[in-house]
């Protein structure tokens, strides 16, 4: 037990927690926007891959880091649009369509990567985002290391939490998105476009998910690997239920998750000899399932989630 | 204005035509990535066809690849019929394979007619358990089975790595993380000499026939379809919904577990952590292409296996990435989804007031 407290007191532990949480923050926010509008987006895992690949590839081709971020978001929006057409315009099963988008986005990304770089054995590297050092603040003893040595993408993620909260709770657009996920007929009666709101929400949400992927190749690492997303998208789908579709709780959930993951890596080195390393590797996934089971009963799903809506059909 | 209206009758032309058309469209669309990759398109298609129909061996390889896809396809089809989203066939496949290896590598010494059924029974039971757990989490706690089965896939693969480095590790394996080989009398007999295709294929087809019959003709099948089509109506009619879902979960998991048994006891002989190149996920596509019909699963598994085997051999000949196969297969899923829409609905041109 002493070891755990010692770990909790280190700066590197808290810095790592925030770093691990960053892609999840993007992913959970994206999933939250989609689901609030009434559409489950299981394309998330593939959109993470697409964002990671497209962002990295753009930087590698010379767009610059922020150019890569934009390209990743556009790629995410594109695959989101496919999901939107299938589930909103055509009203198809959101489960199957989402899985289809995941498989499609993943295979497009892998195929493009292999086609662009047919013969590389070790993946080529880019110059990733550097920690954003702020002159005086970065010198602060504890906070300085934890907060002010994160990269710009982590700051963007934290900013997005505030922005999504503001749009969902303080603007007419947010009210409309929430209404379209609860009672699309009432939105239609107001003269707003159910299709437009839902498609827009899915495209924007998917673009955010793709930034989570881009963080992996452009900040956490500096190259693209096959299988690097490794279920992070699915974890976001579990976290959004745990967060009961609230941006603040989504941040909390992602941070808790990041802290747990950072802890397990450090525990592994402490007690590695006694416990098989797989116990620690499996812990994040087990934790997600436990969080889901705890949250599922009291979760207030958006009422029209999974229900397609057609104009003129009541 | 264009309005969407349901079609009056669901004609046979659509239910058979749509999957075939989707498969063809997906194959045609593959010419775009082929062209982008700079490969001569027509020759690539010829190479792909040669990779499947070019020789007796090529064809038997396709049948070998189709076998696990039939099992995972059936697993997905039966569960999806009950609106139980089992996305965990990949993990359940490995549970089946782990059980097969645990029983079959010398733990029990018995003649084939005892050992083989035991291996199959334990493999199916392990796969079954892998789906019943998330089904209980769903029926008792309301935890979405899509997320739990997806996450379980990762947990089971980590568990597999532990087993291969620990309890199941082959002492003669030169340190590689792999299991000991299954005893000769525990192996599924091959179907043809000098070919890898094995009797797992026959078992898969028999399973499909039984599933087709049970689904269409038995009370169990009726309940399963009723729960899938309308939970509230089914509950109202006195069907025990949770029990039906758990039953579907058990059968679905068992079929996925059988995919693992068939791969390890029919083909490889021993277990490694790369036994399945995503057979579990591909099974979902197989099931959707089949319109969730068990007999259809057999046919669509043959198609998907042809794409994988054909694209593999094409990629070796033409130097195009073999991820093309995944691209064709996932495109065919999207096509069949869109096609399914047009077989159930028609677009009606209306005037601005929305009248006909």
Which residues 308-327 in chain B show a CB within 8 A of chain A? 319-321, 323-324, 326-327
Residue A221 lies in a domain: yes
Q: What is the pLDDT of residues A93-106, one digit of tens each?
A: 999 999 999 999 99
Look at chain A and report how many structural domains it folds into.
Answer: 1
Q: Do A238 and B147 touch (CB under 8 A)?
A: yes
Q: Do B326 and A118 touch (CB under 8 A)?
A: no
Residue A268 lies in a domain: no
pLDDT of residue B95: 98
Q: What is the pLDDT of residues B64-93, one digit of tens each?
A: 999 999 999 999 999 999 999 999 999 999
* Residues B22 and B298 sit within 8 Å (Cβ to Cβ): no
Nearest residue to A296 via CA among A238, A214, A224: A238
Residue B113 lies in a domain: yes
Nearest CB to A234; choose among B142, B147, B333: B147
Look at chain B and report how many structural domains it folds into.
Answer: 1
Residue B158 lies in a domain: yes
Residues of B with CB below 8 A from A312's CB? 3, 354
Residues of chain B short of pLDDT 70, as ranges, are: 1, 8-12, 350-356
Residues of A with CB below 8 A from B333's CB? 96, 99-100, 103-104
Residue B79 lies in a domain: yes
Domain carrying residue B294 = 39-319
Q: Quick one: DSSP state of residue A129? A: P
- CA angle at B156 for the pair B153 and B162, rounded to the nearest 5°: 145
Q: Is A298 on the interface with B (CB under 8 A)?
A: no
Q: Is A290 on the interface with B (CB under 8 A)?
A: no
Residue A267 lies in a domain: no
Domain carrying residue A178 = 15-112+135-233
pLDDT of residue A1: 63
Residue B284 lies in a domain: yes
Q: CA-CA distance, B47 to B304, in Å (whole number)?
A: 16
In chain B the first and final C-alpha atoms are separated, in Å, by 10
**Domain containing residue B74: CATH number:** 1.10.3470
Q: Do A86 and B337 touch (CB under 8 A)?
A: yes
pLDDT of residue B352: 56
pLDDT of residue B355: 47
pLDDT of residue B11: 66
Q: At what angle do helices B112-141 and B145-165 cross, to 10 degrees?
A: 140
* Residues A148 and A16 sit within 8 Å (Cβ to Cβ): no
pLDDT of residue A158: 95
Q: Quick one: DSSP state of residue A276? A: -
Q: What is the pLDDT of residues B180-235, one digit of tens each?
A: 999 999 999 999 888 999 999 999 999 999 999 999 999 999 999 999 999 999 99
Nearest residue to A211 via CA among A66, A100, A110, A84: A66
Residues of B with CB below 8 A from A241's CB? 144, 147
Residue A299 lies in a domain: no
* Residues A49 and A105 sit within 8 Å (Cβ to Cβ): yes
Average pLDDT, chain A: 91
In chain A the first and final C-alpha atoms are separated, in Å, by 59
**Å between A126 CA and nearest CA of chain B:** 23
Q: Do B321 and A114 touch (CB under 8 A)?
A: yes
pLDDT tens, residue order, chain A (314 aa):
667 777 777 888 889 999 999 999 999 999 999 999 999 999 999 999 999 999 999 999 999 999 999 999 999 999 999 999 999 999 999 999 999 999 999 999 999 999 998 877 788 899 999 888 777 777 777 777 777 778 999 999 999 999 999 999 999 999 999 999 999 999 999 999 999 999 999 999 999 999 999 999 999 999 999 999 999 999 999 999 989 999 999 999 999 999 988 888 888 777 766 778 888 888 889 988 998 898 888 888 899 998 889 887 75
Please, how many CA atoms are within 13 Å of residue B22, restricted to the half-sphere of its CB?
A: 30
**Å between A229 CA and nearest CA of chain B:** 12
Residue B353 lies in a domain: no
């Amino acid at each position: 037990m002493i070891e755990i407290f010692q770990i909790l007191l280190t700066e590197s532990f808290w810095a790592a927690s925030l770093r691990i949480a960053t892609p999840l923050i993007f992913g959970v926010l994206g999933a939250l926007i989609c689901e609030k509008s009434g559409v489950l987006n299981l394309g998330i895992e593939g959109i993470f891959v697409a964002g990671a690949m497209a962002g990295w590839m753009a930087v590698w081709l010379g767009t610059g880091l922020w150019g890569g971020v934009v390209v990743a978001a556009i790629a995410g929006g594109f695959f989101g649009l496919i999901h939107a057409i299938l589930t909103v315009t055509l009203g198809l099963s959101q489960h199957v369509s989402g899985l289809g988008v995941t498989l499609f986005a993943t295979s497009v990304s892998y195929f493009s990567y292999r086609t662009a770089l047919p013969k590389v054995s070790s993946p080529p590297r880019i110059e990733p985002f550097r920690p954003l050092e702020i002159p005086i603040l970065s010198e602060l003893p504890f906070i300085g290391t934890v907060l002010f040595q994160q990269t710009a993408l982590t700051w963007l993620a934290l900013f997005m939490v505030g922005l999504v909260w503001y749009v969902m709770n303080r603007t007419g657009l947010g009210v409309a998105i929430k209404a379209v996920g609860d009672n699309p007929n009432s939105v239609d009666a107001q003269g707003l476009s159910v299709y437009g709101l839902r498609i827009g929400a899915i495209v924007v949400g998917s673009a955010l998910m793709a930034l989570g992927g881009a963080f992996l190749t452009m900040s956490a690492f500096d190259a693209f690997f096959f299988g690097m997303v490794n279920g992070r998208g699915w974890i976001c789908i579990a976290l959004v239920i745990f967060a009961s579709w609230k941006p603040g709780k989504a941040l909390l959930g992602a941070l808790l998750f990041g802290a747990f993951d950072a802890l397990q890596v450090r525990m592994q080195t402490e007690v590695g000899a006694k416990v098989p390393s797989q116990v620690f590797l499996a812990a994040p996934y087990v934790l997600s399932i436990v969080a889901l089971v705890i949250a599922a009963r009291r979760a207030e799903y958006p009422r029209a989630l999974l229900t397609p809506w057609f104009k003129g059909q009541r | 204005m264009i309005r969407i209206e349901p079609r009056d009758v669901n004609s046979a032309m659509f239910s058979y035509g749509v999957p075939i058309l989707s498969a063809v469209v997906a194959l045609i669309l593959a010419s775009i990535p082929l062209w982008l990759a700079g490969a001569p398109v027509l020759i690539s298609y010829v190479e792909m066809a040669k990779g499947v129909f070019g020789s007796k061996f090529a064809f038997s390889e396709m049948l070998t690849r189709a076998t696990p896809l039939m099992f995972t396809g059936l697993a997905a089809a039966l569960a999806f019929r009950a609106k139980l989203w089992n996305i965990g066939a990949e993990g359940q496949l490995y549970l089946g394979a782990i059980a097969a290896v645990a029983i079959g590598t010398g733990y029990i010494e018995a003649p084939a007619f005892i050992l083989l059924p035991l291996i199959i029974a334990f493999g199916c039971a392990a796969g079954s358990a892998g789906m019943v757990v998330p089904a209980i989490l769903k029926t008792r706690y309301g935890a979405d089975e899509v997320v739990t089965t997806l996450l379980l896939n990762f947990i089971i693969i980590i568990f597999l790595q532990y087993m291969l480095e620990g309890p199941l590790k082959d002492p003669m394996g030169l340190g590689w993380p792999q299991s000991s080989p299954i005893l000769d009398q525990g192996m599924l007999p091959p179907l043809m000499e000098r070919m890898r295709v094995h009797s797992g294929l026959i078992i898969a087809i028999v399973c499909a026939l039984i599933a087709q019959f049970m689904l269409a003709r038995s009370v169990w099948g009726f309940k399963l379809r009723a729960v899938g089509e309308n939970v509230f109506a089914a509950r109202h009619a006195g069907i025990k919904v949770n029990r039906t879902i758990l039953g579907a979960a058990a059968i679905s998991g068992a079929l996925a577990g059988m995919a693992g048994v068939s791969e390890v006891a029919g083909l490889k002989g021993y277990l490694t952590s790369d036994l399945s190149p995503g057979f579990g996920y591909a099974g979902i596509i197989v099931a959707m292409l089949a319109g969730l019909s068990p007999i259809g699963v057999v046919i669509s598994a043959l198609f998907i296996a042809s794409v994988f085997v054909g694209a593999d051999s094409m990629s070796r000949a033409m130097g195009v990435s073999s991820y093309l196969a995944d691209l064709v297969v996932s495109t065919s899923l999207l096509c069949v989804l869109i096609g399914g829409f047009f077989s159930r609905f028609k677009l009606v041109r209306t005037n601005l007031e929305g009248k006909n």
